[in-house]
Each structure stands twice: as C-alpha cells, then as structure tokens.
Chain A
Amino acid sequence: MADPKPGNAAPASKAATGAFTPAGVSPSRRARRKYTVRLWAVRNSRFLEWFYHRFADVFLLLHPVWKLFGYQRVERPITFVEKHVKGFLFDCRMCGQCALSSTGMSCPMNCPKQLRNGPCGGVRANGNCEVEPDMPCVWVQAWKGSQNMTKGNAIMNVQKPVNQSLRETSSWLRVTAEAAAAREAAAAAGKDA
C-alpha cells in the first residue's frame, strides 16, 4: 500500500485537500476523528441488538402516552435525545430510517458513498475505506457485527433508497407508530374474523 492520501479528519484539513466539504447536517461530513465508540458498538452488536429490542418494546408500551401528547409534539424532544444517544454510539447521521439492526450496528450513513446494501469494490486490503484511508470500512465492520447478532441475516435484505425527506426525524417514533398501527390492524382483523 502506498502511503494513504491525507485523510479527511476535520473539515478544515479536508478543505485543504480541495475536496468537497459540506457543512452542518450533511451526511457526507465526517463527524469523528476517532472511531473507538463506533467500533465498540460493532463489537457489542449482540448486546445492543438485545437492548434495542427491550427498548423498542418499552417505546411501544408507551404508545398511549405518545398518542396522548401527540406524536407531532413529542417529535422534537425525542429527536433531540435520539440524535445525541445514537450520535455518540454509532456516529448517527439522522437519516430518519434507521437500518442499524440490518447492518450489524454499524451506521451505513457514515460510508462516504452512503451505501446501504454492502461494501463497494474499493475497500482497501487492510479493510479501510477507499475515500477516507484512515477510517475502517463501515461495511467490513457491519459484516463483523452482523455475525454476532441473532438476526444478523437481515444484512442480506435489499434496502430501499433513502427517503431524504425523513432526515432529522425520529426513527424510534416512526418505528413505534408503525408497530402500533400494525398491532391495531391485526386486532381489527382478528375482530372481523
């Protein structure tokens, strides 16, 4: 391997290379210098999977509460919490349609190409990213993480294209609302039968 091109560790040094440097919430901006926490999350993907299932159950139990306040109104505080919790753990980019359970707890939006269906062909022999030479490839990590998970096979599902209009919204609330709606629909169907 030749010595890697200068990484994009911080926006300033990235701009110095002449590369595209979007600001603010842009998905392709790199959020971290180090990947310690992100890699920890992948190593502990099984625990996080278990934890998320409990957590989602609790959220679903709270469905009457969300409904009482109105999903619209709780959206902002929940999004705030979600952004920071997932931002810390996974370097979450708030795409609003979380795929972590299908990607071995490695956030695919951290891929500079935002691939949601697997690694590109440019992965370096050492398992690092083509675009950011010092970043471990998100998808090499995802494959590792999925191997530990009980439902790791979800990595084989073909993900739909990202709906950009859902950016910066809470994925937790959306999943809960959908689960609640499905439960009610099932109950209604059961009553009809």
Chain B
Amino acid sequence: MTGQSTVLAAEVPFPPKVEDFYLPSILPWGEHNSYWFTKITALLWISIAIIIIFFLVSYRKPALVPTKKQWIAESIYGFVRNNIAVDMLGKRGINFAPYLTTLFVFILLMNFWAIVPFAQISPNSHIAFPAVLAVISYVMFIYIGMKHHGGLKYFKHALIPPAPWFILPLLIPIEFFSTFLVRPFSLAVRLFANMFAGHMLLLVFTLGGFAMLNANVWFAPFSVVSWVMTIALTFLEFLVICLQAYVFTVLTASYVQGALADEH
C-alpha cells in the first residue's frame, strides 16, 4: 500500500520492513504511536459491521423455502456446523456450531482484507487479533474440559495417559507442554505468521519490481515478471486466507473434542 502510493516518487522503500505493518494513525491523523484508530482497527470494525449486517439482513425473515441471500447465510453456517462441528464433536457439536461459525467467518473476512484492493493488509497480520482468538479458544477448551470431567479431574485425565508408571515422568511434562503451553501460541502464531508472511511476500514482489525499475531501466522485463508474480501470489494468498480460517476453526473444534473425550 505504501509502496503503491509512492510509485511515482523516485525513492521506493526496499526491502520492506516490519514498520510497513504499522501505518500512521487515522485519528489523530498521521500520529505514529497512537493505535486506537488506525487502518487496522478501521478494517476490524468494518469486518464486524459487514458480518453483522449481512447476517441480520439475510436472516431478517427466515422462510422454510429460503431466498438466495438466506440460502447463502445458511450455507455458511451449515458448512461449519456439519463439516466441522458435527463431524468432529458429534451431536454435541451443534451447541458449539454458533461459536465456531462466528470464529470462522470473522477470521475469514479479517484475512480477506489482505487481497482486497486499497485495503491490502489483514488485521490478522497484527498478532493482537489472533492472540485474542487463541486465548478465547484456550480458555474455552479448558473450561469445557473441567465442566465435562468435573474440575481438576480434567487435568488428571488430560495429563496422565494410560501408560506404564515408569514412563509417566516423561509423558506428563510432554502432555502438559503440548496441551497447556503450546496450544494458544501455535494457534495465534500460525494465523498471524501466515498473514504477516503473505503481506510481506506481496510487498517484496510489488516493491521489488519498482526497485529494479529504478535501479536500471533495462531491468524492466524483470519488473514485469515480478508484478506477474504478485498476481500469482495474490491467488496463493487467497488460498492461504481460506485455509487458515478453516485450520483455526478445525483446531479449536479439535481441542474441544479432546476436552470432551472420555478415553485417550
């Protein structure tokens, strides 16, 4: 984005830096250390508004024989409900389907800003949002586990696998580490890093084209290749967007599944 706005300037900032992810604040205008109202938070609110308005409008008057809009809204919910929630959690999955669908739609749209013209950065490339979602998933699966197994019994159930006693000193720390320490970080970082890297890639190829052009006019064909790569990578980015939204939702469902499981 910054790259494109400075196309005509002689100086193109290259290579892209982490600072390219931290745009100046919108209100107050141009402030560098104010984060309450930036492009990122604006996209956040726009996402929320779009999702809420879409669902409320398309489900204002639900009919047995759905209209096109209602059908689309139902398909989104039905996809997460049947293919993720019910598939992984069985009948109990229906209770979790609303949250999982909300999560899925939210991540999907937040990711999608990465390839929307003029937005072209995903709020999820700031780790704050994936972290919030990961912490919610983390707290949720622990709470569900405790509720299902009865308080601290859940931890006993989760930490002590049915194994010979002499191997337990090895297994318990591993279980603890993988279940209660790594999970929130892996969830958050996976999503954040994908969106961060995607944005970085697009920046590299877009700005790289300009950088080569500025360095030597004879590099123009390479610049064109670079921009064609940008387009190709945008398609790849679209794939990553959908995949990461799906993965985050599936992993959350799988953690809940683990918390609800009665046997190992």
**Chains A and B belong together in one complex:** no
Binding site for B on A (CB under 8 A): none
